[in-house]
Amino acid sequence: MDRNSSPTMLLLRIRRRLQLLLLLSAMATTKATATSSSSGHAGYERALVAFKAKISSQSGVLASWNKSTSYCSWEGVTCGKRHRWRVVALDLSFQGLAGTISPAIGTLTFLQSLNLSFNGPISLPALAPSAAFRKTRCMAGRLPSDLGKSLPSIQQLAIGTNLFTGALPRSLNNLSQLQVFDVDSNNFTGVVPTELGRLQNLEVFMLDSNKFHANNEREWGFIASLTNCSRFQKLTIGWNRFSGNLPSSLANVSTNLQWLRIPFNQISGATPLDVGNLAGLEVLDFSGNLLSGVIPESIGKLTQLKELFLYWNNFSGVIPSSIGNLTGLWRLGALGNSLERPIPLSIGNLSKLTVPSLSINKLTGFVPKEIMGLSSTLAILGLSYNFLEGPLPLEVDRFSEANVLGKGRYGTVYRGILENEAIVVAVKVFNIQHPGLYKSFQAECEALRRVRHRCLVKIITCCSSINHQGQDFRALVFEFMVNRSLDRWIHSNFEGPNGQGALTLSQRLDIAVDIVDALDYLHNGCQPPVIHCDLKPSNILLNQDLRARIGDFGIAKVLDESTSKHPVKSNSFIGIRGSIGYIAPGALPDKVMEIADSNIWLHDGANNRNDATHITITKKCLSALSQLGVLCSKQLPIERLSMSDATAEMHAIRDTYFSTQQ
């Protein structure tokens, strides 16, 4: 299973805002000295003024940073509640900052949070002389050896998704207040320091997607050291180079541990028999390793468990009957092992189970009727490639017409429910009779596994299996969009759940902004770029807030990373792709109101259609939109507006209109 397709990864990415990232530059060049002079009022103000001197701001946010007011009232600056002169946080995100980080910021010894994410090019000479804060927002270099001694008040060190290299400095053990340690998705190497176990306030420890290694008891020592961290909640070390046997100390880390994720390493041997001691676990992921032996019976003690992933290992023996104690479990992944004997009847106790995946094992016997008792929650049942006997109940793949949300060229979309009716989803079942089934399914999976953006429909999981008739079964499970497609709102008399029957201009502008944001991400924010190829109102879905989410990547193209021009393993069709649109000639700009939907201007701020001021404002807005559309539709591609420029222009049009509605 691709790490990006797991629902739990959506939670992991929330904290990835690059908090405290830029503190590292200061620490590499200057040791903070908390003397009376530098920690006083004047010292803090001098540090901030030095910071301002090397930074420019397109938004003018730093204009308030002058001596006419206290530095604690400067925009983006937060001072402490108890010691009101101490700077504890700087938040200057999304301000168009550029320049170089001054080493003087290292003298802000009580700084707990620095957020400079989503700005322009910011040089970090202390970390990587040739590196800058580029469009990809990636930074490089080694962490300073004295990192832990410079700013002892740091509570969160989150530097995930960058290009940092080298080993973790042992001085990290001096960060006595540290609660979150996240170095996910970098190029760190070496052994994880055991000194980290001295951080007794540590709650989150994320090392995913690096090159850390451990192969013996000494190198695995950091696990034993973490047993000292009584507040520990999340441990994720997947996609590294850990090998050898799991230490028995893993079962004693903390009863408060909620996440234990070690997927896709080369870990072998048996699972610690006392893993059931981790009573607070909600997510347990051992997938993609070389683990062998039986699944411990003690796993039944993990009564808080919601997700259990054991797939692609060498587990053998029976599925323990104690698994029936995990009544909160809603995802069970154990495919790709050598599990034997019948499926335990106790699996019927898992009333919230939605995605059981037991395919590619050596299971025997009949499919328990108890599984059929879970039909109200089951979204996908994976039992293929086993040695099961008897007829598979028809209920397994029965989809009611009453739940149909829509039908398309390649299949039908149904409404479903996950997690005991707490999560509503949309299940896209592909039509196995259609000759383009496999191309469409492969293209959609290829595109969706590469993307994640707030304006794209979120995929929850996928299914590729065999139904009871021995036929191929392909399905994708997406988040449910309560307001259905944009097409229903603008081309019919559709009425939303709240009784609204027409979209206002404000809502349409928000939707347009969401669409261009998504396209800008697909074209410029993805590596390699993804081309949707079939963008139209029926493929744009609206959530409960009437914000747009782009879906249906069935004929999308993923461009080659080296050239960004040629499709990767393309299954694209020759000729025109997608739907053909139409641009009305000669209607711009004087007659724009005549071709526009009257609902646009009747429902957005005007008491009646004679409100001259509102009509003038609306006309200007629609004219600007039309001009933007024409610029994006020039006959020659070289004459068209770039996607990034079109996105900026769309934001400007929306913001200008909103400013007139205040």
Task: Say which range, 181-185, 340-344, 444-448, has the weakest mean pLDDT.
Answer: 444-448
Whether residue 27 is predicted with pLDDT greater than 50 in this model: the reply is: no
Paired tokens of 234: 């999340």
Paired tokens of 616: 């003038």
The full DSSP string for 157-217 is EE--SSEEEEPPPGGGGG-TT--EEE--SSEEEEPPPGGGGG-TT--EEE--SSEEEE-ST
Q: What is the pLDDT of residues 82-108, one digit of tens each?
A: 888 888 888 877 777 777 777 777 777
Cα–chain center distance at 580: 33
Q: Nearest to residue 181, comparing CAs of 193, 166, 165? A: 193
Paired tokens of 126: 């202390």
What residues pair up with 204 in beta bridges, in sequence order?
180, 234
Task: Say which range, 188-192, 196-200, 495-499, has the weakest mean pLDDT.
Answer: 495-499
**Can you tell me the mean pLDDT for 315-331?**
93
Q: What's the CA gap between 338 and 319, in Å, rounded?
A: 10
Identify the DSSP state of 386. Answer: S
Residue spans of the domains in the chain: they are 17-138, 401-479, 486-659
pLDDT computed for residue 42 by the predictor? 78
pLDDT computed for residue 569 by the predictor? 42
Q: What's the CA gap between 64 and 87, in Å, rounded?
A: 16
Alpha carbon separation from 202 to 80, 164, 169 (Å, rounded) = 22, 22, 17
pLDDT computed for residue 582 by the predictor? 46
Say which CATH class 401-479 falls into. Answer: alpha beta
pLDDT computed for residue 139 by the predictor? 55
Q: What's the CA gap between 301 and 290, in Å, rounded?
A: 24
Q: What's the CA gap between 556 and 445, in Å, rounded?
A: 10
Q: Residue 578: pLDDT band by 50, 70, 90 thresholds?
A: very low
pLDDT computed for residue 618 by the predictor? 82
Whether residue 160 is predicted with pLDDT greater than 90 in this model: the reply is: no
Q: Nearest to residue 310, comparing CAs of 286, 275, 274? A: 286
pLDDT computed for residue 568 by the predictor? 44
Q: Residue 307: pLDDT band by 50, 70, 90 thresholds?
A: very high
Q: Residue 268: pLDDT band by 50, 70, 90 thresholds?
A: very high
Q: Which residues are annotated as a binding site?
A: 428
Q: What's the CA gap between 9 and 259, in Å, rounded?
A: 12
Whether residue 298 is predicted with pLDDT greater than 90 in this model: the reply is: yes
Considering only residues 246 and 558, tell me which one the structure prediction assigns the higher pLDDT.
246
Considering only residues 557 and 220, tell me which one the structure prediction assigns the higher pLDDT.
220
CATH T-level fold of 486-659: Transferase(Phosphotransferase); domain 1 (1.10.510)
pLDDT computed for residue 580 by the predictor? 45
Task: Say which range, 304-308, 409-413, 463-467, has the weakest mean pLDDT.
Answer: 463-467
* Mean per-residue pLDDT over the chain, rounded: 76
Q: What is the pLDDT of residues 369-379, one digit of tens each?
A: 777 666 556 66
Q: What's the CA gap between 634 and 644, in Å, rounded?
A: 16
Q: Residue 164: pLDDT band by 50, 70, 90 thresholds?
A: confident
pLDDT computed for residue 501 by the predictor? 64
**What's the chain's length in residues?**
662
Q: What is the pTM of this model?
A: 0.51
Cβ within 8 Å of residue 636, ≥6 positions away: none
**Can you tell me the mean pLDDT for 504-527?**
86
Task: Say which range, 263-272, 443-452, 546-555, 584-593, has the weakest mean pLDDT.
Answer: 584-593
Q: Residue 320: pLDDT band by 50, 70, 90 thresholds?
A: very high
Percent pLDDT > 90 in the chain is 23
Q: Nearest to residue 327, comparing CAs of 306, 342, 341? A: 306
**Can you tell me the mean pLDDT for 140-168?**
78
Considering only residues 154 and 19, tell me which one the structure prediction assigns the higher pLDDT.
154
Q: What's the CA gap between 113 and 86, in Å, rounded?
A: 13
Q: What is the pLDDT of residues 77-88, one digit of tens each?
A: 999 888 888 888
CATH of the domain spanning 17-138, picked from 3.30.9, 3.30.230, 3.80.10, 1.10.246:
3.80.10
pLDDT computed for residue 488 by the predictor? 83
Please count the other Cβ atoms lying within 10 Å of the Cβ belonging to residue 19: 25
Whether residue 340 is predicted with pLDDT greater than 90 in this model: the reply is: yes
Paired tokens of 95: 């301000």
Q: Residue 125: pLDDT band by 50, 70, 90 thresholds?
A: very low
Whether residue 574 is predicted with pLDDT greater than 50 in this model: the reply is: no
Domains 401-479 and 486-659 share a fold: no
**Can you tell me the mean pLDDT for 346-373?**
84
Whether residue 281 is predicted with pLDDT greater than 70 in this model: the reply is: yes
Whether residue 25 is predicted with pLDDT greater than 80 in this model: the reply is: no
Q: Which residues are annotated as a binding site for ATP?
A: 428
pLDDT computed for residue 427 by the predictor? 81
Under DSSP, is residue 447 helix (H, G, I), strand (E, B) or coil?
A: helix
Q: What's the CA gap between 485 and 406, in Å, rounded?
A: 10
pLDDT computed for residue 297 by the predictor? 94
pLDDT computed for residue 486 by the predictor? 86
Whether residue 192 is predicted with pLDDT greater than 90 in this model: the reply is: yes
Task: Say which range, 471-480, 619-628, 629-638, has the weakest mean pLDDT.
Answer: 471-480
Asked if 327 and 351 touch (Cβ cutoff 8 Å), the reply is yes
Whether residue 252 is predicted with pLDDT greater than 80 in this model: the reply is: yes
Asked if 433 and 414 touch (Cβ cutoff 8 Å), the reply is no
pLDDT computed for residue 196 by the predictor? 84
Q: What is the pLDDT of residues 426-458, one digit of tens each?
A: 888 877 666 666 677 776 776 666 677 888 888
What residues pair up with 285 in beta bridges, in sequence order?
261, 309
**Can you tell me the mean pLDDT for 390-416?**
65
Considering only residues 114 and 154, tell me which one the structure prediction assigns the higher pLDDT.
154
* Residue recorded with tokens 């940092």: 164
Q: What's the CA gap between 508 and 489, in Å, rounded?
A: 10
Q: Residue 633: pLDDT band by 50, 70, 90 thresholds?
A: confident
